[in-house]
Structure 1
Amino acid sequence: MEQSVKQMLKLIEEGGDSFEEKAEMYNQKRPELVAHVEEFYRMYQSLAERCDHLTGELFKSNPSMLQAQVTPDQKLGVHRSSHQSVNMDSPLSSGSASSELSLKEGGESFSSSSSDSESESITSSINRYLGTPSNGDGKGLQTMLPSMKEKLQVTEDKDADCIPKVGTHASYEELLGKITEYSQKLEFSEEEIARLNCELKKNESATGTLQAQLESAWREIEMQEANLELEKRQVLELQKQTAELENRVSESDHKICMLEEELEETKKRLMGSEEENEKLKHELTNEISVVKHQLEDQRALAVMLETQLQDSIIKHMAFVSDHDREVESLNAALHNAQENFSLERAQLQSDISSLSKQVVLLETRLEEWRAKEMEMKGLHEAQETVLQGEIEQLKAELSERGDIVQALNKNLDALKVTYDMLMAEKDELSARVDTLIADVNSWDNQIQQLEDHLRQLRIERVELIAGTESSRKLVDELSWRVKELEREVERQRVVISDRAEEKGRP
């Protein structure tokens, strides 16, 4: 039993680093735990059956342990009545055969009354073999002595003095044998009770350990519930950040469209007359300044996005560190997103530096515009080509960001599915914990019943010891009275012999 308890505690203490690992290990070890619990229940049933069997044997072998039943004094009264029937009802002329028959009947009545476990059968047996109840204080012997004197006077020539002696010694030996047998059974009962107490203590310790393990599991479930609530709030924050990113991406698309429209207008103006070159020069200067402001805005937006993404990455890293395997895929996705953002950031910085260089080049070329009016168209075409490439690159970047947003949405969906699975597992664990608590309460009730039964056995054992002491005292008193009766019979024999000699004399 101790080995089973140790194995069960080892199975309960084994656990993974994360809640998912613990749940998986619990599903794997659940059949073994159920087998151990069933084994404990079988051992408890076996213990209860053995205790009931022991109680039945004690009641069968020791009827004095039953409350409201016949006492040892009444048993001795029954036995004395059987001997009185031997000495008073049977004629002395019938010899030793009839006396032995009466003694056998008295012994059978005593054994039947001692083996009966119900008070009604014992009472009926006493009423059948005893006309009046015995008081247990020696009055039966006092009433029997005058009758024996009368019979001894009537039967002077017969040697019937050995008949009551034989019956008395036989009953005394039988009573001593019964007392010895009861003492042996009492010792066996005490050993069995001690063994049952040891097993009960072991079961109590195992039950206490199981109760502590259940409380620990319940506390762990509460902690997991708090962690799940925290994860839910973090998922909502990620959804908000994703929506903000999508809004900013749409704004960037709108700005790009505006830049394309302005580029088309500029192209149309360049294809106009040379008279508009001066106006185009001022418009181009304005456009360059607008582009500078837009680039600065894009740079500020990129810095803000980087800060927000860094905060999001920090939160995701904390989220990943709390949930190990469950968020490994999301961690990998975030790591890839961070690398892609770093690449995009580097690319954007290179683009910004390239655009800055181009702006400087444009300013230099504007200073030389009057001298290089003929080269203006070629420079404008080259600039248009560069801007078109940048626009295509920005479109590609926006497409990649859209893919990243889709990946984040997929990860959020996966997190929602994981959250639903964890809630389902939590509900299942709560139901199992409730079942285990009900089983433990049932075991406590059964153990309490066993303790009450053992307490009743101790009370009956004390009563048995008291009854045995009373029987020993009665046996000692009966032995003393038998010796006095023998001495009285011897005196009567001497008196009879003297009278016979006197009558025989002339």
Structure 2
Amino acid sequence: MASPYSNKLNRSESKKSHSWWWDSHISPKNSKWLQDNLEEMDQHVKRMLKLIEEDADSFARKAEIYFKKRPELISLVEEFYRIYRSLAERYDHLTGELRKNILSDIQSQCSGISDPGSEPPSTIPSPDPRPNRTKSGPRAAGFDFFLGTGSNLNKKEGDESSTMDSESESDNSSVNNYNNGDEQGLQKKIIELEAELQEVKSNYEDSKVKENYEDSKVSAKIATYEEELRVANEKIRLSDDEIIRLTIELQKYKSLKDSYNLDSKNLLASAHKIRGLEEELRVTQEKLNNSEVEVARLKHEFRSKKNMHKSAENEGSIIIMVKREVSKLLQHRMGPRYKNNHPNRDQDNRGLKQILLL
């Protein structure tokens, strides 16, 4: 029976025998098709980042830019889907061919290294002649996130795998390590989403605080002017009452002038006092008109602030949308297939949960 050391050596030799195949089909330097796809993907990423990084002064302008650029972003996402699907199909085909070649080499080597003198040939376990099933290669990071759908990973097979299957899986570990670049892209996307979420949240909170301050300030001004208006109305009412009283008194003096022969100076003093009250009434009336104009202006300003509040609520809806996208990405990362290929999944998931709690 072959020793573990010889099995390990045979697996190493099998990997080396297929290194030329791997380099000629997977390496971007040796595959013009793969290099062209990667360059096209880089161009689309730069275009999308340029669209996302476009900023505006107000929340209303940001919302307008978002809905204006949304069709272009959708078209870029669809193009990402096409490129990623092409890469995934090519990757699935190549890994399937590589797996079949490695399994055939391992089977031939295992049958050749057995000791015919120590054991009967019939006791050598032959590998399970199951048909080779090509497994779908893991999608690149961000693939399901951009599509807005949940992860549709294949379920892990049961305990029916044999020792030969586990050895072939170890031989294919270099193939699975090809996803390290995708992991870096996913981590970069997580950092960008977290930064964008923090910025939107900070802007939203700042605008909310500023809006509350402005609303309280305007409300205080309105209350002050309403109080001044009430005092002015009270003064006008008292002035009207005083004018009525003095007018009655003047009429009384006029009616008693002939009978009592009052001094004309008293009549002139009363008339002068009435004119003074009329002048005071006119000044008070002007102040009242100015106060009414100011109150109307403040009400208009209050309505404008209210519209800004609605715009801030729209910004809040963008935060909810980003959290939904992060939640979908978190569901994708909870899949068992993603766990096998990404040992740091738990740490990244904790980061995503912290984003959802913001």
Q: 1:433 aligns with which of 300, 322, 326?
A: 322
Out of 212, 217, 238, the residue aligned to residue 255 of structure 1 is 238
Preserved contact between residue 333 and residue 339 of structure 2 (Cα < 8 Å): no
Partner AA of 1:74 in structure 2? S
CA distance in 2 between partners of 1:269 and 1:433 (Å): 82
Identity of matched residues, %:
25
Specify the alignment match of 1:214 in structure 2: 197
- With over 3 angstroms needed to count, the CA separation of the structure-2 counterparts of 1:232 and 1:440, relative to structure 1, is farther
Residue 305 (structure 2) aligns with:
415
Give CA deviations for 1:18-74 in whole Å, capped at 9, x if unaligned. 3333233233233334444454455444444333222211122221588xxx46131
Map 1:67-82 to 2 at 5 A.
70=107, 72-74=109-111
Partner amino acid for 1:441? Answer: L
Q: CA contact under 8 A between 1:16 and 1:22: conserved in structure 2?
A: yes
Cα distance between partner residues in 1 of 2:288 and 2:69: 50
Matches within 5 A, 1:329-408: 380=271, 388=278, 391-392=281-282, 394-395=284-285, 397-408=287-298
Structure 1 equivalent of residue 19 of structure 2: none
> In the TM superposition, what whole-angstrom CA distance separates every residue of 1:216-266 from its partner, at most 9, and x where no partner exists?
323333333333333343343234224313312322321331342244145
SS state of the match for residue 422, structure 1? helix
Distance verdict in 2 for CA 1:13–1:390, change over 3 Å: same
Does residue 268 of the first structure (1) align with residue 251 of the second (2)? yes
CA contact (8 A) 2:218 2:298 kept: no
Amino acid at match of 2:110: D
Pairing of 1:70-469 with structure 2 (within 5 A): 70=107, 72-74=109-111, 117=132, 197-198=180-181, 201-269=184-252, 271=254, 272-273=256-257, 275-277=261-263, 280=266, 284=269, 380=271, 388=278, 391-392=281-282, 394-395=284-285, 397-419=287-309, 421-422=310-311, 424-442=313-331, 444=333, 449=337, 452-453=340-341
1:31 matches 2:71: yes
**Change over 3 Å in CA distance of 1:261–1:23 after alignment to 2:** same
| Paired AA for residue 92 in structure 2 | D
Matched, 1:57 2:40: no
User: 1:242, 1:249 → 2: CA distance?
Assistant: 10
1:63, 1:116 within 8 Å by CA — same for their partners in 2? no
In the TM superposition, residue 193 of structure 1 has moved relative to its aligned partner by: 7.1
Report the counterpart of residue 46 of structure 2 in structure 1.
6
User: How high is the TM-score relative to the length of structure 2?
Assistant: 0.54
Shift of 1:117: 3.1
- Letter of the 1:255 counterpart: L
TM-score, structure 1 as length reference: 0.41
Contact 2:243 2:277 in 1 (8 A): no
Once the two structures are superposed, residues 107-133 of structure 1 have per-residue CA deviations (whole angstroms, 9 ceiling, x without a partner) of xxxxxx999638x9x9xxxxxxxxxxx
Between the aligned partners of 1:41 and 1:193, the Cα distance in structure 2 is: 21
In the alignment, structure 1 segments of 5+ residues that lack a partner are: 78-83, 85-112, 123-185, 288-379, 456-506
Structure 2 Cα separation of the partners of residues 234 and 432 of structure 1: 32
User: Partners of 1:229 and 1:52 in 2: how far apart?
Assistant: 56
> Which residue identity is paired with 2:93?
H
- 1:62 aligns to what SS in structure 2? helix
The corresponding residue for 1:344 is none
Structure 1 10/204 Cα, relative in aligned 2: closer, same or farther at 3 Å?
A: same
Q: Separation in 2 of the partners of 1:17 and 1:208?
A: 24
Provide the C-alpha distance between the structure 1 equivalents of 2:307 and 2:44, rounded to a whole number of angstroms: 39
Offset of residue 402 of structure 1: 2.8
Find the structure with the greater CA-based Rg: 1
Residue range with higher mean Cα deviation, 242-251 or 269-278: 269-278
Do 2:229 and 2:288's aligned partners in 1 also have CA atoms closer than 8 Å?
Answer: no
2:204 and 2:315 in contact (8 A); partners too: yes
In the superposition, relative to structure 1, how do residues 254 and 386 fare at CA in structure 2: closer, same or farther (>3 Å)? closer
Q: Supply the AA of the counterpart residue of 1:3.
A: Q
* Distance in 2 between residues matched to 1:454 and 1:432, nearest whole Å: 26
Structure with a larger share of its residues in helix: 1
Q: Secondary structure at the match of 1:50?
A: helix
Amino acid at match of 1:277: D
| Runs (5+) with no aligned partner, structure 2 | 1-40, 115-120, 122-127, 134-159, 163-170, 344-358
Q: Which amino acid aligns with 1:429?
A: I
Superposition CA RMSD, Å? 4.8
Determine the C-alpha separation between the residues in 1 that align with 2:212 and 2:129.
72
Amino acid at match of 1:267: L
1:198 positional shift:
4.2
Letter aligned with residue 111 of structure 2: Q
Matched with 1:20 is: 60
